[in-house]
Amino acid sequence: MPWALFYPADYSVGAAALGFQYIFERLRLAGVAAERFFASPLPYRSADADTMLERFSVITATVAYEGGIPVFLEWLDSAGIPLLPEERAAGSFPVVGAGGALSYINPLSLSGVCDFIILGDGMEALDYAVECLRSCSSAPRRRLWEKLAGHDEILVPPVDIKDGKLTRNLKTGRSLDLNGDYPLHSVWMTERSAFGKTLLIELQRGCARSCRYCTLPRCFGKMRFRGFDIIENALSDICGRFEVPQVGLVTPEAGDYPFLPRLTESIDRKGIAVSFASLRLDRLDEKMIETLAGGGRRSITVAPETGSERLRFSCGKNFTNELITEKLSLARSHGIDRVKLYFMIGLPGETDEDISAITALCRSVICETGQSLTLSVNPFIPKPGTAWENEFFAGKHAVRQKYEKIKKEIRTIAKKTPQLRLTGVKEAQEEFSLAWCGFEESRKLARDPHGGAADADAAGREMLKEELGRIA
Ligand code: SF4
């Protein structure tokens, strides 16, 4: 069964997406002729065999976040594939499906376009979808839809949504046993990945912390760890067969993984460099810093989120500015002289003083450590399923004003002025609209993929929350 597996970003980004690699591997093991497609450099030719998209009868996308939706739609549209399921059915066009991290949060944002959406972890549901697609390959499309709708972790919009409302209760897969017979690492490594040639290993899913803006605690299920022995065995096996220059440990917060010291020691002994997908400052210890520096790393990325302690604590990140400076000084003493800091603006309860606190924190880090700083500043986007889902997006005008203030203030740091990377205001507004996109809005996008999503108003958000409440 020819199956086009699309990642709605450049090859380098898709090659660094572990979930996408899992699906590719799973389909191949199931005997499916899956080939990978990326938004660039060659959008309509597979990265595997240069096969043209028109040869594929099934197309699915792995959508990690809202920004992937318009990319997916425009890609399908430019390939001449109708975006509405009934139009594809009428013309014998490919079946279109989706899955990925966005399906844990708001699968309805893709519901106007897809024939099916796999919800959550998705491994068994994917096997079921493969069976349905095989057995219904020459059946009418409605027969396929009805069969797919026999699984409660697969949303089939043409069957499950009537008059804009879900007609059955569904489930999001959130309990995959990470120690079961499932993939746990990259299935390909390439220099062309955003992380370079790195073996990605997933240590943990879910997060037991409760940062109020984050989708992890409520949407991705309870915290699950992969056992040390399973990882160690897989690692030894791969290292015996391939050259592995670097291992990337994929986890919401590396410091929460209980076997981290044993694992980093073992990787160290094999002479392999280590990188962490995410480092929470309060869990960053000397051993982790030594591990990074020992592998030749001279830079580190951390997320204080705000310069103001009051605001940081209100987000659910309970660490002080003093602790940030202390940890970065420790990193500096191990030769790490470049730091990327993630900040959010437009947070609930934020004042002008809180914005100024960003520059004050940077100034004190530079004074204490002499490190070169790069700031990534992103507007807060309230997402469904978070503790702050009822909060508001600050809006384009306010975000621009806050950016101007930061730009002006950061220039007052005369020596080692930090570099600023500001998320586009238009992109942030679009992300907010797409985050709250329900079935009707998704249909509108399918009819006009270049038109953009409508602004999310309070009534629309309430309706969406009600519908999402039917997906446990
Ligand atoms: S921001 Fe990090 S620590 Fe906080 S809930 Fe999300 S994943 Fe967990």
Residue 52 shares a structural domain with residue 102: yes
Distance 17 CA to ligand 1 centre (A): 19
State the pLDDT at residue 181.
79
Q: Of 212, 224, 251, 253, which is best to mutate to test ligand 1, by the most ligand atoms within 8 angstroms of its C-beta?
A: 253
Q: What is the CATH number of the domain that holds 206?
A: 3.30.750.210
Total domains in the chain come to 3
Q: Cis (ω within 30 of 0) for the bond into 418?
A: no
State the pLDDT at residue 294.
85
Residue 171 shares a structural domain with residue 238: no
pTM: 0.94
Residue 414 shares a structural domain with residue 463: no
Q: What is the CATH number of the domain that holds 166?
A: 3.40.50
State the pLDDT at residue 385.
94
Picking from 222, 247, 278, the residue at the C-terminal end of a domain is: 278
Residue 254 shares a structural domain with residue 369: no
Residue 385 neighbours by CB under 8 Å, 6+ apart? 104, 105, 106, 215, 218, 219, 468
State the pLDDT at residue 233.
93
Residue 286 lies in a domain: no
Q: Which atom of ligand 1 is nearest to the CA of 303?
A: 1
Q: What is the CATH number of the domain that holds 395?
A: 3.30.750.200
State the pLDDT at residue 177.
84
Residue 22 shares a structural domain with residue 37: yes
Residue 355 contacts residue 362 (beta carbons within 8 Å): no
State the pLDDT at residue 92.
86
Residue 37 shares a structural domain with residue 168: yes
Residue 397 shares a structural domain with residue 341: yes
Residues of the chain with pLDDT below 50 are none
Query: How far, rounded to the nearest angstrom, does the alpha carbon of residue 371 sit from its chain's CA centroid?
Result: 29
Mark 37-51 as b/e (b = at least 16 C-beta within 10 Å).
bbbeeeeeebbeeeb
State the pLDDT at residue 53.
97
**Sole residue written with tokens 């191949």:** 28
Q: Which atom of ligand 1 is nearest to the CA of 216?
A: 6
Phi, psi of 52 (to 5 degrees): -80, 145
Residue 305 shares a structural domain with residue 428: yes
Distance between CA atoms of 211 and 191, rounded to whole angstroms?
A: 34
Q: Of 209, 302, 378, which is best to mutate to test ligand 1, by the most ligand atoms within 8 angstroms of its C-beta?
A: 209
Residue 49 shares a structural domain with residue 194: no
For residue 412, count CB atoms less than 10 angstroms from its CB and return exposed for 0-12, middle for 13-18, buried for 19 or more: exposed
Distance 217 CA to ligand 1 centre (A): 7
Residue 445 lies in a domain: no
Q: What is the mean pLDDT of the chain?
A: 94
Give the range of the structural domain holding residue 141, as residue numbers without chain letter.
2-175+458-468
Residue 234 shares a structural domain with residue 142: no
Q: Of 216, 223, 317, 342, which is best to mutate to test ligand 1, by the most ligand atoms within 8 angstroms of its C-beta?
A: 216
Q: Nearest-CA neighbor of 58 among 142, 150, 136, 146?
A: 136
- One-letter amino acid at 413 equals I
Q: Whose CA is nearest to atom 7 of ligand 1?
A: 252
State the pLDDT at residue 442.
96
User: Pocket around ligand 1: residues whose beta carbon is below 6 Å from it?
Assistant: 207, 209, 211, 214, 216-217, 252-253, 280
pLDDT digits (tens, 9 = 90+) for 50-97: 999 999 999 999 999 999 999 999 999 999 999 999 999 999 899 999
